[in-house]
Amino acid sequence: MSVLSESISIKTKGEGEARDITGAVASLVESSPLQSGIATVFVPGSTGGVTTIEYEPGAVSDLGEVLEKIAPRQAYYRHNETWGDGNGYAHVRAAVLGPSLTVPFQNKALMLGTWQQIIFIDFDNRSRSRTLIVHLIGE
């Protein structure tokens, strides 16, 4: 059993921008010495999230609309009183979505469904440079 730590660096516009990172994760799996195991993608920070979706404009837009209903941008957030940065909604959305995802791989290939992609969403209210951590565990 081996554990490898890799990373993916991306720049985002924030504001709920969703980025398909499937290819980047698949590339790390393919270039590793591991044949099978799990890939865990984790975003350090409290205003970003990782999940899977069919990465097409309609589904991505639908997800954004649902998250707006759950944690509306213009709602009152105590976090904004504490820090004055106006991104309380981003913290709540990220907490709902979650900071990590684990995907199994076999024969150096991610075991995703045909229409399933891994996405990172940056909920913050400004552009950011993000480094996602990818741990590969397997043999």
Per-residue model confidence (pLDDT) at position 78: 96
Average pLDDT, the chain: 97
Nearest-angstrom CA–CA distance, 115 and 53: 8
pLDDT by residue for the chain (139 residues), tens digit each? 999 999 999 999 999 999 999 999 999 999 999 999 999 999 999 999 999 999 999 999 999 999 999 999 999 999 999 999 999 999 999 999 999 999 999 999 999 999 999 999 999 999 999 999 999 999 9
Per-residue model confidence (pLDDT) at position 92: 98
Q: How far is CA 16 from CA 32, 54, 58, 78, 115, in A?
A: 31, 16, 14, 20, 21
| DSSP class per residue in the chain | -EEEEEEEEEEE--TTEEEE-HHHHHHHHHHSS-SSEEEEEE--SSSEEEEEE--SHHHHHHHHHHHHHHS-TTS--HHHHHH-SS-HHHHHHHHHH-SEEEEEEETTEE---TT-EEEEEE-SSS-EEEEEEEEEEE-
Per-residue model confidence (pLDDT) at position 6: 98
Per-residue model confidence (pLDDT) at position 131: 98
Domains and CATH numbers, the chain: 2-138 (2.60.120.460)
The tokens describing 116, both together, are 């399933």
Per-residue model confidence (pLDDT) at position 45: 96
Nearest-angstrom CA–CA distance, 72 and 3: 39
Please name the amino acid found at residue 49: G
Per-residue model confidence (pLDDT) at position 25: 99
Q: In the block, which residue shows the tokens 């081996």?
A: 2
Per-residue model confidence (pLDDT) at position 4: 98
pTM of the model: 0.96
